[in-house]
Chains A and B, each alone.
Chain A
Amino acid sequence: MKILAEIEESIRISAESIWANKLRAFLATLGVVIGISFVVLMGWAISGLDKALQDSINLIGEDMLYIDKWDWSGGKRWKEIRNRKDITYQQAKQLISGLTLPEVAVPLASAWNAQVKANNIVYSGISIAGTSADFGRIPSGDVEKGRFFSQADERETRPVAVLGYKVAQTLFADQDPIGKEIKIMGRKLEVIGVVKRQGTLLMDFIDNRIYIPIGNFLELFGGGEHRRSVSIGIKAGSIDRMDEVREEARGMMRAIRNLKPWEEDDFSINETKAFEEIVSTFRLYVWGIGIGMTILSFVVGIIGIMNIMFVSVAERTKEIGIRKSVGAKNRSILLQFIIESAFLCFAGAMTSVVVCSILVFAVAKILPKFVPETGFLQPFLPADFVFIASIVAIFVGILAGFLPALRASRVDPIESLRYE
């Protein structure tokens, strides 16, 4: 009861003295404000990253394997990977027909940096993917409008195309693209479907793609013989079956590639785990930079707060004397100044939470309009980081306020009452 009245009084005094010296309080807490901002923005970035990762995994499908010349985790052994032989369409077909365990397996041949014409628009920088009708059965092939091409389309190499979301948007905007004509390399194709929007941070190219039957693709662009490596997408059916499916595919692919038992695989088996690796590396960078900056700004912040609290104690020597003369104990004064310091930091934390919330909201609402791939950004700060930040701020305040408060509590009442 007694302590509560003192705490209430202390908070009131703190609010008054901060209000009386607004600019000074603001400058003093700047370090803490920046520190807290780093913490919450870092939390925001990481939670966005996790969402982007989850989106990508959902998009690809957790039970998907991609057999490819290239390795998704990037970077490592890059030279060795570059020197691998391309996977030809023949090899891909051989593998697909030989596999018994997967739910579905599809070839995927890509031509990058292609061009499409339609509706008097020329759209470049897209990719053309040749695949089989079974692609419509994996998550990346989910159509939003129309249908994916059928085995009949494929068998008869009908001139049909399924558009990625962004291609459809760019070429047809508000019109219905189904039944419209597009031109690739001078060849007329009929649009029969549009794939669902899937773009994320890590998979931004996927909405900029046009799917055509692989037979048509080979006529237009040539196959593996033309230094165009084909990859094979395999849907295991469930995560439990990943291991056996992976082993079957690896064994069969090694046989197709004529590898000796002592030779390493000359192809990669890519899984969504690779994304997790990329993201976790990225997350580590964000954490590293974030924590470094946070600690730095908190150190600056603590010095700033401590300094201002010393000034405040000196300025209010008389007040301390008055309080002591009417019965304030040393620990009441200690408590008062520690609370003031903690309150100052907490006010700083709240300021930065408000500022960061506005910033984050604005960024998450505006940026995706210009860069659609940033659509994973959330328009609010993660609550747990706001909570952590507030606790840290109070702790910093207590830490920074302790020495000044100790000095205040030891002020001699007689001296301080004489102080003008």
Chain B
Amino acid sequence: MEKNNNSQDRQPLIDLQHISRVYQVGIEQVFALRDINLKIYKNEYVAIMGPSGSGKSTLMNIIGCLDTPTGGAYYLKGINVGELDDDELAEIRNKEIGFVFQMFNLLPRASALKNVELPLIYAGVPKHIRLERAMNALNAVGMGDRINHKPNELSGGQKQKVAIARALVTNPSIILADEPTGNLDSKSGEDIMRIFHKLWLEGNTIVLVTHERDIALHAQRIVRLRDGLIESDEMNHHRFVFEGVNE
């Protein structure tokens, strides 16, 4: 198993220690995650792969602080997430996590700008700063000319760009993308992956959850899950490199 050699001495951004997640279904206990040990460092680009039922969604929920583990400890920037209550988790999600979902999950009645502003509202950012930051985020994903469009007036790829802008707007520690191209045609999917690549080059940490090998190949490191355990965790030697992007 190859280690990420440039980050040995630093504190990990995400530190999962013996994580397990058990669901009680009737009288039966179902192990979604059994014993996960995973460290992710700043400015890594990690793909978490696995077939359905492998536990990758559960792992994503735990990394994204939507869920807490039933066993083990999760340190995010040194904070033990398992000890936090609902409101503290919400605050962590607001500050540290930027979600990008397969289904975009934009508010249908709000404009692109309002959608991107949303995390800043819960962060208590004053209005004029909110507007400026939302505009910057939309410009960064090339959606600066569609700020007043509602989601139903946008294509799938455009919706996902707005969703990425929303994830970026709080300057989170991690951008957590769950099958971000799963609902897009290949052209739009490529656009989206190009944006992630650019964000990574700009210093962001990206965790990509996918079951598609082609998508996972964009990442720098690939973690494979099976039956709630890490099957492999290795650097990606077959990296897909975008033309004209200078690494």
Contacts and interface: CB of A to CB of B under 8 A. Distances in A.
Nearest to A332: B122
B213 interface: no
B121 interface: yes
B109 A318 contact: no
Contact of A326 (B61, B119, B125): B119
Contacts of A5: 121, 124-127, 130
Contact of B119 (A2, A6, A327, A417): A327
A327 B93 contact: yes
Interface in A383-420: 413-414, 417
A325 interface: yes
Interface string B77-121: 000000000110011011100010100011101100000001101
B241 interface: no
B166 interface: yes
A12 to B, nearest CB: 8
Interface residues of A, number: 25
A319 interface: yes
A158 interface: no
Contacts of A185: none
B124 A2 contact: yes
B127 A322 contact: no
Going nearest first, the 5 A-B pairs with the smallest beta carbon separation are A327-B94, A2-B124, A326-B119, A327-B122, A329-B90
A327 B105 contact: no
Contacts of A1: 124, 126
A322 B105 contact: yes
Nearest to A322: B105
Contacts of B94: 326-327
Contacts of A250: none
B122 A330 contact: no
A329 B122 contact: yes
B93 A326 contact: yes
B123 interface: yes
A325 B109 contact: no
B87 A327 contact: no
Contacts of B66: 324-325, 413-414, 417
A328 B107 CA distance: 14
B67 interface: yes
Interface string A240-279: 0000000000000000000000000000000000000000
B109 A327 contact: no
Contacts of A332: 90, 122
A9 interface: yes
B87 A330 contact: yes
Given A330-B90, A331-B87, A414-B66, A17 B109 contact: yes
A329 B61 contact: no
B222 to A, nearest CB: 25
Contacts of A322: 105-107, 118
Interface band, chain B: 20 to 34
Contact of A319 (B101, B107, B126, B170): B107
A319 B103 CA distance: 13
A20 interface: yes
Nearest to A5: B121
Given A325-B99, A330-B86, A417-B105, 7 more contacts: A16-B109, A17-B109, A322-B107, A323-B118, A326-B166, A327-B122, A328-B90
A323 B114 CA distance: 12
B127 A325 contact: no
Nearest to B99: A325
A325 B87 contact: no
A167 to B, nearest CB: 67
A6 to B, nearest CB: 7
A236 to B, nearest CB: 69
A176 to B, nearest CB: 70
Contacts of A329: 86-87, 90-91, 122
A326 B87 contact: no
A323 B67 CA distance: 15
Contacts of B67: 414
Contacts of B106: 322
Interface string A320-345: 01111111111110000000000000
Given A5-B124, A414-B61, A414-B67, A326 B118 contact: yes
Nearest to A328: B122
B107 A6 contact: no
Interface string B41-65: 0000000000000000000010010
B123 A417 contact: no
6 contacts: A5-B121, A5-B124, A5-B130, A318-B105, A324-B66, A414-B66
Interface string A160-191: 00000000000000000000000000000000
Nearest to A331: B87
A327 B97 CA distance: 9
B95 A327 contact: yes
Contacts of A319: 107
A326 to B, nearest CB: 4
Interface in B188-247: none
Contacts of A9: 121
Contacts of B95: 327
A327 B121 CA distance: 9
Interface in B122-152: 122-127, 130
Contacts of B91: 327, 329
Contacts of A321: 105
B109 A326 contact: no
Interface string B154-179: 00000000000010001000000000
Nearest to B93: A327
A359 to B, nearest CB: 34
A414 B178 CA distance: 13
